[in-house]
Amino acid sequence: MQLKLKDIYLNTNWIKSGSSSFIYYDEVESTLDIALDKKYQSNSLGKIVITDNQTAGKGTYNKSWFSEPYKDLTFSIILGNQHNFDQSLVDEACKAVLHTLKKFQIIGYQKKPNDIYINGEKIAGILLSNLGSINTKPYQALSIGMNINSNLELDKIDSSSKVKSTSLLRQTGDEYNREDILCKIIESIDKAIQKLVYL
């Protein structure tokens, strides 16, 4: 089922709130590619590029990120080039995901530098990416992929992958409201961004 983004009102300050929060694509190769596009970096600071079907998701070291259409969360936050974010934002984003999992009585942990695991299996990944510039601060975007209601096994999709994957569905047997989880994660990340920006 398609994300019901019109029903979402984010309680955020740095990240755009209200009905203008999201740039939605039914299908896209990578939300990160769009979020790093200079057109969006210039005109859509603080907005979230999100899709229900990411066909060529990217992880660390250009590894692939697989997600099941209309089942998981794949989105990128446009950060602009006003601030030079670093690993501290990735760590805070990992904490946001872990905090959200804890609300559902699920205990996970961060596998440095940017992955979230539950019982030895990967459930989410966070990626901070830069679009370099020689004379100015780089354009940046923060991407998150999280397995919610999918039943994918990465080692069966990608034979070269040594990573075992999981999802909330596979952990508990229950399906989850993606919009609810999306809100919780973004609102938590917004607080982290504010803390880093206004230090």
Query: Where exactly are the structural domains of the chain?
Result: 5-197
State pTM to two decimals: 0.92
- The set of residues, in sequence order, having a beta carbon less than 8 Å from that of 65 and lying 6+ positions away, is 54, 57, 58, 59, 74, 125, 145
pLDDT digits (tens, 9 = 90+) for 4-44: 998 888 999 999 998 789 999 999 999 999 999 999 999 99
Mean pLDDT estimate for the chain:
89
Report the pLDDT averaged over residues 42-54.
96
pLDDT digits (tens, 9 = 90+) for 116-173: 999 999 999 999 999 876 667 889 999 999 999 998 665 444 445 567 889 999 999 9
The answer, yes or no, to whether residue 174 has pLDDT greater than 70, is yes
Report the pLDDT averaged over residues 73-99.
96
CATH of the structural domain 5-197, one choice from 3.30.930.10, 3.10.100.10, 1.10.3720.10, 2.60.260.20: 3.30.930.10
